[in-house]
Structure 1
Amino acid sequence: MSARLLVTSAGSGASSNLVRSLRAGTASLTIVGCHDDQFILKNSTADRNYLVPPLSHPRWARALRRVVDAEKIDLVIPASDRDVAALSRVRGRLLGRLFLPRAATVERCGDKYELTEWLRARGVPAPRTYRVTDLRHLERIFDRLGNPSRAWCRIRAGAGSRGAAPVAGPGQARSWITYWRDMRDVPVSAFTLSEYLPGRDLGCQSLWKDGRLILVKTYERLSYLGSGSQPSEVSAVGALTKTVCEPGVVEISVRALRAVDRKASGVFAVDLKEDSSGVPRVTEINAGRFTSGTNLLDLTGKHNMTAVYLQLARGGVVDLHEEYEGTEHHYMLRDVDAVPRIFHADEFFDGVEDARG
């Protein structure tokens, strides 16, 4: 299927990985990129690139529409949560050129506290979470959590574990939130405290059309980029990630997405963390965009998810229904200034001599 695509946040790691997957899955593509940062844009691997105003600028939508018209774009694909939210707000100007979840779904998934409350009210496993309204009430929240030795403090919106950290008590939580309030202008009300989940860090990416599950794959993050310098100890960006076969993760993720939107369409990336009993709990849903490590899912197994997404978006026939590809033992290695590498477990020692004695 030939198509002309516009990929946002061009030049970023997530966008570059998305472009790599798209080209691997569909040969006859013209890919155009856009970004509001001319330096990041210079790193884009798209065929043509455009500098546009920031998302918050009143002329952003008009500039984007000019690019769409000039390049005869068939489909605009967002590469970040901010891009998804911005495109969702102007979807009326891009009719037929977006394959996004409904606006209410995008908004609900954009607020981690509201999402968690929504899921728990519908019986979907998610961490007990309380919003912070006043620094004087932190002791009360810890009491409601059962006075654990560790709780999870994070900002309700955003990506990349921004503002997230484990905290050992109300005093530590107060200091952490105060720092972000005083030094980063983040209001106290932007924070939540939730139960700490010590288990595996899992992910589930799926494609939907009009409420029908089309294709789903699962993965596990084993280590993280920059984790040594982040108080959270984790990140949304895995340094080492592997494919896993976890039907239980699929079952919980599908329940979560059906609870959020019975008519779901587009791509969804669900993050889950295991509790102390090994039960995966949904911590986040990225609605409308591929995970930044999507290469691991697209370049292994039978189906490239970006290629299937493109067919669904363009109205093509996709002969898949609730297809779960539980491919195992494929690994993706990422590092700063390095192209991501994907290899199978059998290839661990190819070209490597063991000199450990």
Structure 2
Amino acid sequence: MKKILIAGAGGAPTEGVIFSLLKNSDNYIVGMGSEPTDLILSKAHKKYYIPYANTAEYKDRLLEILNREKPDLVHFQNDLEIYHASLIREDIKATGTKIFMPEHSVIDTCVHKYKSYQAFTDAGIVVPKNIVINTEDDLKEAFEKLSDRVGKIWLRDSGIGGGGKGALPTSDYNLAKAWIDHYEGWGEFIAAEMLTSRTVTWLSIWHRGKLVVAQARAREGWTHGSRAISGVTGVTKVGVTVSDEKISKVAISAIEAISDKPHGIFGVDMAYDSKGVPNPTEINISRFFTTVRFFTEAGVNFPEIFKKLALDEHPKIEMGTINPLKDNLMWVRAMDVEPKLVAKRNIESEIIF
């Protein structure tokens, strides 16, 4: 039996990983998290409270849990914790627990969006032009140089965090200025050219520079997107499996722009421009996306593959497998409702129109 410590227990991103690992009865899951009301919802066998990763108490508590439980592997599921845990990776490994993540410089580049943008542009990858907003003059320049045909730009917080953190599409300079003021975000926000609402994610696992497995998934809307000013919540409402060589090529180029020897999980988020070209907007590093259970239910268990690689076991998949799942499988989600896997062609057979 393998014991695995999973961070962020009780939250949707982590519970998808736990669900997948529990498909194999040989796994014993220890969950930890910073929200007690999330923890009580977790399917982990045992649960620990831990302070937030950016607090002084985090390191000692993490090492205490590791020394007490002696897990074979520890895995983190949000950018903040990944970043801070990466900084103390040698202390973690000294407990005898394995980790499976790239070097810290790769993590640092991926969790800071402007650094990712610079890496993409240096590699000649097509991406929307970005400007760091340090001053009001920068914001004025962004509207002059980046706005689309209706005058809109895309603002977002370039720091650590997901879920469309601080995102705002706007053609109103005064609103943009007030938005940055509200977040005290001067020097932290970036402005970018607008892309279309058509988005796709390419989830992949790499091992010592070699691609192990990857699967593309298009997004057809965000859960509660109408309640966010940006329309983006970071929570996919409907995911659909797709296979497109162009998506894979762009994703691999983006990953190789960040790391010359990829190792661990790389999830490339892309949005299409008006010419139909997928532009990488960020790489979700060292973590699975919220709907990873989708792939498990469809037949490819990414967390189990990840675990086996981390523990030097052979995953039951051919190295370099890309898009092993059938196209047009849909994963449909809503709050407090069990998600459902369905073939897109079968929707009409279940619904009276």
1:20 aligns with 2:23: no
Please tell me whether residue 3 in structure 1 is matched to residue 6 in structure 2. no
Distance in structure 1 (CA, Å) of the matches to 2:214 and 2:135: 41
Instruction: Provide the secondary structure at the position in 2 that maps to 1:223.
Output: coil
Q: Is the 8 A contact 1:151 1:169 kept in 2?
A: no
Task: Provide the secondary structure at the position in 2 that maps to 1:101.
Answer: coil
Secondary structure of 1:207's partner?
Answer: strand
Residues 199 and 276 in structure 1, CA contact (< 8 A), matched pair in contact too: no
- Give TM-score, length-normalised by structure 2: 0.93
Counterpart secondary structure, 1:307: helix
Q: Which amino acid aligns with 1:151?
A: I
Residue matched to 2:99: 98
**Distance between the aligned counterparts of 2:69 and 2:141, measured in 1?**
56
CA distance in 2, matches of 1:40, 1:227: 22
Aligned residue among 286, 292, 296 for 1:288: 286
Are the equivalent residues in 1 in contact too, given 2:223–2:233 (CA < 8 A)? yes
Tell me, yes or no, if structure 1 residue 167 matches structure 2 residue 166: no
Output the TM-score relative to the length of structure 1.
Answer: 0.92
Question: 1:156–1:190: 8 Å Cα contact kept in structure 2?
Answer: yes
Change beyond 3 A, Cα 1:345–1:147: closer
What do the CA deviations read for 1:333-355 (whole angstroms, capped 9, x no partner)? 111122322222244245x451x
Looking at structure 2, the residues matched to 179 and 27 of structure 1 have their Cα atoms a distance apart, in angstroms, of: 48
Give the corresponding residue for 1:334.
333
Looking at structure 2, the residues matched to 353 and 41 of structure 1 have their Cα atoms a distance apart, in angstroms, of 36
Provide the C-alpha distance between the structure 2 equivalents of 1:147 and 1:72, rounded to a whole number of angstroms.
54
Offset of residue 102 of structure 1: 0.8
What is the rounded CA distance, in whole Å, between the counterparts of 1:285 and 1:268 in structure 2? 6
Instruction: Tell me the equivalent position of 2:142.
Output: 141
Match of 1:184 in 2: none
Deviation, structure 1 residue 150: 1.5
Partner of 2:120: 119
Contact 1:102–1:264 (CA under 8 A) maintained in structure 2: no
- Report deviation, 1:3: 1.0
Paired residue type of 1:277:
K
How many pairs are equivalent? Answer: 346
CA RMSD of aligned residues (A): 1.7
In the other structure, the counterpart of 1:131 is 132
What does 1:1-357 correspond to in 2, within 5 Å?
Answer: 2-24=1-23, 26-95=24-93, 96-145=97-146, 148=149, 149-157=151-159, 158-181=161-184, 187-301=185-299, 303-318=300-315, 320-326=318-324, 327-349=326-348, 352=350, 354=352, 356=353
Deviations, residues 301-335 of structure 1 (Å, cap 9, x unaligned): 4x311111111101112452221125211111111
Query: Separation in 2 of the partners of 1:237 and 1:290?
Result: 13
Write the deviation string for residues 215-234 of structure 1: whole angstroms up to 9, x where unpaired. 10000110111111101112
In structure 2, do the counterparts of structure 1 residues 43 and 147 end up closer, same or farther at CA, with 3 Å as the change threshold?
closer
Deviation (angstroms), 1:144: 2.5
Runs of 4 or more off by more than 6 Å in structure 1? none
Gap regions ≥5 residues in structure 2:
none
CA distance in 2, matches of 1:123, 1:217: 24
Offset from partner CA, 1:260-293 (integer Å, 9 cap, x none)? 0111100111100000000000001111000111
- State the identity %: 23
Note the residue ranges of structure 1 that are not aligned, 5 or more in a row.
182-186
